[in-house]
Amino acid sequence: MPEATPSDSTTESQNGVQIDLISGSRMEGLRSMEKIRLILDGVRDGNIVILEEGLSPDEESKLIEVTMTEISPDEFSGIEIESYPHEEAADQSFLDRLMGRESTKKLTVIGPANQIETLHKDDQLISALVSRK
């Protein structure tokens, strides 16, 4: 059976806001650009994408870069992204850092910039207002 994609279930989204909660294990098997494509395709459809385990710093950098290339007047103005603060590497060994094994497990919320507004954020709570298109 083919693996379901978040966009398979968008038929009802005209009446509300679709939220895709993507597990860490789902993202683990994807290449960086596949992750970015998955996120941006969802966001450009007006969905709110919630990643259980977030992206690595390098992937975040590429997400910003690709987002910039896709911004288009009156169509797509970019993304709003929020995650809990990066837990500093207190629990990471020097070897982990040397090998690039960065801890990236941080719940991350991403949505279209014109539909999601962060109301409050601290190290334990992200509160966001989501509107329809």
Where along the sequence are the contacts to other proteins (CB under 8 A)? 56-58, 60-62, 64-65, 67-69, 71, 73, 77-83, 85-86, 88, 98-102, 113-114, 118, 121
To other proteins, the closest distance from the beta carbon of 3 in angstroms equals 23
Shorter beta-carbon distance to other proteins: residue 46 or 78: 78
**Closest by Cα among 98, 105, 91, 89 to 56:** 105
Instruction: Extract long-range pairs of 29-33: CB within 8 Å, 24+ residues apart.
Output: 32/56, 32/58, 32/59, 32/62, 33/62
To other proteins, the closest distance from the beta carbon of 106 in angstroms equals 10
Shorter beta-carbon distance to other proteins: residue 9 or 85: 85
Sequence-distant (≥ 6) Cβ neighbours of residue 121 within 8 angstroms = 82, 127
Shorter beta-carbon distance to other proteins: residue 26 or 121: 121
